[in-house]
Amino acid sequence: MRTLVYVDAADRAALELLSAARSLGGPVAVVGPAESVRAGADRLGRHGASTIYAVEGTARVVPGRLVAEAAATVLAAADVDAVLFPTSCDGRDAAGYLSGSLGRTIVANGIGLEATAGGLLVTTSIDGGRVVVRTALAGPRPWLVSLRPAAFERAEALVPCTPEIVSLTAGCQTAAVTARHEEPRHGPALEEAAVVVAGGRGVGSAGGFRQVEELARLLSGAPAASRAAIDAGWAPYALQVGQTGKSVAPVVYLALGLSGAAQHVVGIRGARHVLAVNKDRTAPIFELADLGVVGDVTDLLPRLLAAVRARLADPA
Amino acid sequence: MRVVVCAKQVPDAEGPPRLDPATRRLDRSGRLALDPADAVGVETALRLATEGDEVVLASMSSARDVAGLRSALAMGAHRAVLVSDDALAGADSLVTATVLAAAARRAAPYDLIVTGTESSDGYTGVLPTQLAALLDLPAVTFARRVELAGGRLRAERQTEHGTEDVECDLPCVLTVTSGAVAPRYASYKAIVGARTKPIDVLGLGDLGGVALPQATHQEVVDIATAPLRVAGEVVDDDGIGHERIMELLARLKVL
């Protein structure tokens, strides 16, 4: 099977998608914004990309539509069976644009992928991971799929490629980016952290969320936030875990004052142990937790912080 | 200015969306309400609109219950175009986008099309740019702070690493994150007034030759429950909850 993979850059999601693509067998090509894919060409090659389509003119624009148009020209010229997308913001843009312009359906949020006789079998989950659905994708090629982060393991190819880089341009109208603001991060990246401390609406205030960050720091972990905490302005977007946002796979996920709504929980499937604190005994998060404490986070968190500080000061 | 807002009616039920095992589709029986993600879209449109502008809802759903659309009309939208047809049951996002594009064209000319970033029940998140592709429009997605200035849209857009400031000519598609604005509560007077605002119900035939994508080509073949985790112990805090957490963190060698 010949697969084309959309990438934002040679980032974690790209390498995971390359693994997924290689599992289908056959050659794998990558398409993405030129600056990013050229910078990551070596890494993409080591993870199995034999061709890199570098879409020019994407540095100061919202790139999804341009890359989708460029991908369509690749699909028109070559026999491609499957196109894979990440669920990142730009990835979703590109996925929708390509699906709409080709008139091909797309299966989104895949966590598993298999080749079949006439198409693909995509695994997805709904209801916070409690229900697993398999969907057959068939009909005219190419078959379009978007895949969740952390669903596939990154792995270098047994035979690394020196990728051929092909420059592409596209001419459609897109939004211009006038400035970028990267949110500063201290400590381990969310996707890599062994410990994640997440705050939801129950942390009560911006000050409460500062305590969540403090606890993460003390445990050498990363802070995270549910959509509710971000909407309240207590945490930046970059900390969001869930359907929109990051997927995490820590050893310990500490869920403080968040209910465990399906759209959040889809981002924590990979967590080995979940500990939860919530005022509401019926919160769905308790169904996922190794240990659940029914209580007010604003009351418990200061006590927990004090205890952790004391233990770190005197481990005896 | 005319703004078209995509408004999905979703099951107004507590609890997670269910797949009907017989049809293998999302169960959409029961009362319908406005998708909370689209309430944000409606609010965004209402704030961008000024005197003389029109906010039109575009929706695809069963016509048996229009409570969701009525609540958007009560917020201040002027009218709705609802496409309802048995042939659309189980439609995927591309079919839905095709139908909404046809509905939007009926409301043409428009300056802006607004949607949420993803629906609360299906959350595939691809419909907005499928729609943009079909209408041949640029898109500003994952937007939070939005303003219009001189025929251009300016917004703060969410990315994986933070935000970016973006600008786009109109007309375009705009998708707003769920925290972008707080949807207003409708006054009693507005709720009553909404009952007489027009909801134009159309079947596929009324859309005048809309070409639906040939047979969807995606089919659910299997549904299984997968208890990833067995719920562990749940205890009351009672002043010692933090100690139980400390114990477990120590056992897991985090502390």
pLDDT, one tens digit per residue, over B179-213 is 788 899 999 999 999 999 999 999 999 987 777 87
Torsion of CA B133, A11, B118, B221, to 10 degrees: 90
From first to last of its 255 residues, chain B has per-residue pLDDT tens of: 999 999 999 888 655 667 777 777 777 677 889 998 999 999 999 999 999 999 999 999 989 999 999 999 999 999 999 999 998 988 899 999 999 999 999 999 999 999 999 887 778 889 999 999 999 999 999 998 999 998 899 999 998 888 999 999 999 999 999 878 889 999 999 999 999 999 999 999 998 777 787 666 888 888 888 766 677 899 999 999 999 999 999 988 888
Measured CA distances, A291 to A125, A167, A280, A301, B85 (Å)? 24, 53, 14, 15, 48
pLDDT recorded at residue B234: 93
Q: Report, as an integer, the average pLDDT of A108-116.
A: 94
What does the alpha-carbon distance between residue A94 and residue A110 come to, in Å, rounded to a whole number?
16
| Residue B215: predicted pLDDT | 62
Please spell the DSSP secondary structure of B112-130, one letter per residue: EEEEESS-SSS----HHHH
- Contact list in A for residue B177 (CB cut-off 8 A) is 244
The pLDDT score that the predictor gives to residue A60 is: 96
Distance from CA of residue B243 to its chain's centroid? 43
B152-158 and B162-169 as β-strands: parallel, antiparallel, unpaired? antiparallel
Give residues 155 to 214 of A whose Cβ lies within 8 Å of B.
172-183, 194-195
With beta carbons under 8 A apart, name residues in chain B contacting A97. Answer: 129-130, 132-133, 139
Q: CB-side exposure of A190: number of CA atoms within 13 Å?
A: 25
Considering only the beta carbons, identify the residue of B132, B164, B231 that sits closest to A286: B231
Q: In whole angstroms, what is the distance from residue B135 CA to residue B83 CA?
A: 17
- Per residue in A237-247, pLDDT (tens digit) is 889 998 778 88
Whether residue A79 lies within 8 A of chain B, CB to CB, comes out as no
Interchain proximity A175–B159, CB inside 8 Å: no
Residue type (1 letter), B40: V
Contact A181 B165 (CB under 8 A): yes
Return the DSSP state at B213: P
Is there a cis peptide before residue B109, judged by omega within 30 degrees of 0?
yes
Q: What per-residue confidence (pLDDT) applies to A316?
A: 64
Q: What pLDDT sits at residue B13?
A: 62
The Cα of A288 is separated from the nearest Cα of chain B by a number of Å equal to 5
Of B24, B163, B131, B130, the closest CA to residue A85 belongs to: B130
A103-116 average pLDDT score: 94
pLDDT band for A89, please (50, 70, 90 cuts). very high
List CB contacts of A313: < 8 A, sequence separation 6 or more.
none
Q: What is the amino acid identity at position A198?
A: A
Per-residue pLDDT, B123: 80
pLDDT number for residue A266: 82
CA dihedral (A235, A238, A241, A243) positive or negative: positive
Whose CA is closest to B28, among B119, B147, B113, B160?
B119
Q: Would you call A19 an interface residue with chain B, using a CB distance cutoff of 8 Å?
A: no
Q: What is the mean pLDDT of chain A?
A: 93
Record: contact A269-B228, CB cut-off 8 A: yes
Chain B residue with the nearest C-alpha to that of A87? B125
Could B172 and A126 be called an inter-chain contact, meaning their C-beta atoms sit closer than 8 Å?
A: no
Q: Cβ A100–B223 below 8 Å, yes or no?
A: no
Residue B173 has a pLDDT of: 98
Whole-model pTM: value is 0.86
Nearest CA to A167 out of A74, A238, A264 is that of: A74
Paired sense of beta strands A195-199 and A82-86, if any: unpaired
CB contact under 8 A, A175 and B222: no
CA dist B111 and B132 (Å) reads 13
Residues 258-287 of A with CB under 8 A from B: 262-263, 269, 273-275, 277, 281, 284, 286-287
Contact check, Cβ <8 Å, B139/A181: no
Pairs of residues, one from chain A and one from chain B, whose beta carbons lie less than 8 Å apart: 298
Residue B163 confidence (pLDDT): 92
Residue of A303, A305, A309, A314 to mutate for B, most B C-beta atoms under 10 A: A303
State which residue of chain A sits closest to B235, comparing Cα positions: A293
Interface contact flag, B123 A129, Cβ < 8 Å: no
Chain B: closest CA distance from residue A287 (Å): 5
Determine the residue of chain A that is closest to B134 in CA distance.
A100
A198: closest CA among A159, A234, A157?
A234
Mean pLDDT across the stretch A75-98? Answer: 96
DSSP letter (8 states) at residue A215: H
* pLDDT at residue number B14: 58
How far is A40 from B200, CA to CA, in rounded Å?
52
Radius of gyration of chain B (CA): 21
The tokens for A153 are 């393991």
What are the C-alpha distances in Å from B171 to residues B4, B76, B135, B167?
Answer: 11, 22, 10, 12
Interface contact flag, A290 B248, Cβ < 8 Å: yes
pLDDT in tens, A141-191: 999 999 998 889 889 998 888 999 999 999 999 999 999 998 877 788 888
What one-letter code names the amino acid at A97? Y
Paired tokens of B209: 């030759």
Residues of A in contact with B97 (CB under 8 A): 96, 100
The pLDDT value recorded for residue B180 is 82
Residue carrying the six token digits 């997440």: A198
Chain A nearest-CA distance from B154, in A, is 9
Residue range A296-310: mean pLDDT, rounded: 96
- The residue in chain A having the minimum alpha-carbon distance to the alpha carbon of residue B126 is A96
pLDDT exceeds 80 at position A227: yes
pLDDT of residue B146: 96
Residue A163: asked if its preceding bond is cis (omega within 30°), the reply is no
